A = this chain, B = another copy of it.
Amino acid sequence: MNLKQLSEHLGLSQTTVSRALNGYPEVSEKTRLRVQQAARQLNYSPNTRAKSLATGRTHAIGHVLPISASHEMVNPVFGDFIAGAGATYSDHGYEIVISLVKDQDEAEAYRSLHARGSVDGIIVHGPRMRDPRIPLLRELGLPFVVHGRASDEPDPYSWLDINNQRAFERATEFLLDLGHRRIALVNGLEFMDFAYRRRLGFEKALSERGLRADPALMRSEEMTEIFGYRSAREMLASDQPPTAFLVSSMITAIGIRRAIHEAGLEMGRDVSVITHDDDLGYLKNGHSVPIFTATRSSVRVAGERAAAMLLDCIRDPGCVPKTQLMEAELIIGASTGPAL
């Protein structure tokens, strides 16, 4: 059922039917009602492709995911982020288009997404400290919101970020308060902005107590499980093993748990582990309660908000860049969820 068929069925012109369905004021209430009813009854939905060709709006948002050639896995927080964003989009009649792109030809992906006219706007995931995608998108004139930040980007742009620095600062302070002095930082690649900021927070907390970060206890790589396993195994085998681990990813934490286990140690008793992106934390010194920094539900909320920012920005093309910094829910000594 298309517009032509519907209008013939009603004995009206396509114009009138289109107007009635899209809420234009110049159509009489009587006809509008008749048209709406018929549309519902005959199960008419306008063809999105035709609509976007005519209007120049696609009503679709692109999410471009860089996939590193080496491990090809998607960051697990992505699912929660997209769930939040998707809820906002569908409230406003937008679709999500996902583009998985090998990181070497990312710029090309944005260019082509724009040239082919398949999206009205873009959410940028996984920003680097200096990220060429930002000037590129600006040049293309394609509205975008960055999930995260690019510290070295001089010009303003819209972003929404978790306060990574503060989260790791607080987690470090917390471990210091418990008496830990040898705290390991198992971080992501530090050209990624979030990882850079997390290290800043870690170092800041230490230096404010007059301590210095020990390079032997700091690792930075792509956040795989094997990386966590190797890092923890090496550090635990050293002369001065860490008493606590601060970890950037739940996947990496799996490897760390395994190394701890293989070393004959017990988490929470012999070694403490705090993980970003929602995993169960284990603390020594009598603290058997879970610790998170950044829960899955807060990632979802981040998705909702980023999507709302982007839609605003699409609606008002002259809008000035907006920014939003969310504090991570660092839950210490509390429960993991509602109504426990």
Chain A positions within 8 Å of B, measured between CB atoms, are 1, 43-50, 52-53, 58, 60, 65, 67, 72-76, 78-80, 82-83, 86-87, 90, 95-101, 111-112, 115-118, 224-226, 229, 254-255, 257-258, 261-262, 266-268, 279-280, 282, 288, 290, 296-297, 300, 336-340
Contacts and interface: CB of A to CB of B under 8 A. Distances in A.
Given A226-B336, A288-B261, A80 B73 contact: yes
Contacts of A87: 67, 72, 100
A44 B115 contact: yes
A271 to B, nearest CB: 13
The main secondary structure of chain A at its interface with chain B is mixed
Contact of A117 (B49, B116, B257): B49
Contact of A53 (B53, B97, B100, B254): B53
A237 to B, nearest CB: 15
Given A79-B75, A258-B280, A100 B95 contact: no
A280 B228 CA distance: 13
Nearest to A79: B74
Given A49-B53, A53-B49, A118-B49, A83 B100 contact: yes
B90 A95 contact: no
Can you list the 10 inter-chain pairs with the closest CB atoms, starting with the nearest? A86-B100, A45-B115, A74-B79, A96-B98, A74-B83, A48-B116, A45-B116, A47-B117, A49-B53, A79-B79
